Amino acid sequence: MMYNQTKRKSDVEAGSRPLYPMMQEPPAIRWAFIRKVYSILALQLLATTAVSATVVFVHPISHFFVSTRAGFALYIVIILMPFITLCPLYLLHRRHPWNYLLLGVFIVCIAFSVGLSCAFTKGKVILEAAILTAVVVISLTLYTFWAAKRGHDFSFLGPFLFAALIVLIVFALIQVFFPLGRLSVMIYGGLAAIIFCGYIVYDTDNLIKRYSYDEYIWAAVSLYIDVINLFLALLTFFRAADA
């Protein structure tokens, strides 16, 4: 018995046995799950791009939101809706068709918010943020898959990223009530970008090892939030630097 326990321990340490139950699935099933998640993520990003581009290029839309009281009230509702939608989406992310309906509402509201953020930003700044976001997301995703294949684990990042996110939220609230100038906005954008780079690695690691097959919606939502927040963080940084 002592030999068997020692052997099991050495197998785990050597990486020959999967540490997580989801990694014991047949590779074909796991890869089908991963492809499904990234397909949903791609559709989310395409829908966000389409809605955001409409808001940016159809000027009466952005003008309505910034020049009328009704538009401002609707803007507040749109900002709050993703937070309101997240709770039922989490509870119903395994129940079809509610998961897709809530996901659609969530994406449209996020897309409008992104579009309004871009509507009053220079095209050069938007392009820089978009290109850098794409490069960073692809690079970190490939790195995480490479590291996971070699037995590396990134679950330890969870508590640190959560604490960093709380600090970032407090920093943002301070900026709202006590603006500290352009340099502090750049610092905020840079810190937010670093934090959401960490979240991309963490959530990709969860996708590979921890999500079950019927959690594809929530896995896609987690990665989508990371990508959008990274883009907005870089947009904030470049916009402040260009001012």
Instruction: Give the tokens for residue 94.
Output: 């395994």
In angstroms, the CA 58 to CA 102 distance is 26
SS3 content of the chain, % helix, strand, coil (to 5): 85, 0, 15
Helix (H, G, I), strand (E, B) or coil at 107: helix
Task: Note whether residue 168 is domain-resident.
Answer: yes
Q: What is the model's pLDDT at position 189?
A: 92
Task: Note whether residue 6 is domain-resident.
Answer: no
pLDDT at 8 over 80: no
Task: Note whether residue 17 is domain-resident.
Answer: no
Task: Note whether residue 198 is domain-resident.
Answer: yes
Task: Note whether residue 103 is domain-resident.
Answer: yes
Q: What is the model's pLDDT at position 190?
A: 93
* Tally of domains within the chain: 1
Give long-range contacts, CB 8 A cutoff, 24+ apart: 225-230: 226/196, 226/199, 226/200, 227/41, 227/45, 227/133, 227/137, 227/200, 228/48, 228/110, 228/114, 229/192, 229/196, 229/199, 230/133, 230/136, 230/137, 230/192, 230/193, 230/196, 230/197, 230/200
Chain centroid to Cα 62, Å, comes to 25
**pLDDT tens sequence across 174-226:** 887 887 778 888 999 999 999 999 999 999 999 998 888 888 999 999 999 99
Give first-to-last CA distance, the chain, whole Å. Answer: 69
Task: Note whether residue 48 is domain-resident.
Answer: yes
**pLDDT tens sequence across 90-106:** 888 888 888 899 999 99
Task: Note whether residue 3 is domain-resident.
Answer: no
**pLDDT tens sequence across 17-62:** 444 555 566 778 888 899 999 999 999 999 999 999 998 888 888 8
Q: The domain containing residue 192 runs over which residues? A: 23-242
Task: Note whether residue 14 is domain-resident.
Answer: no
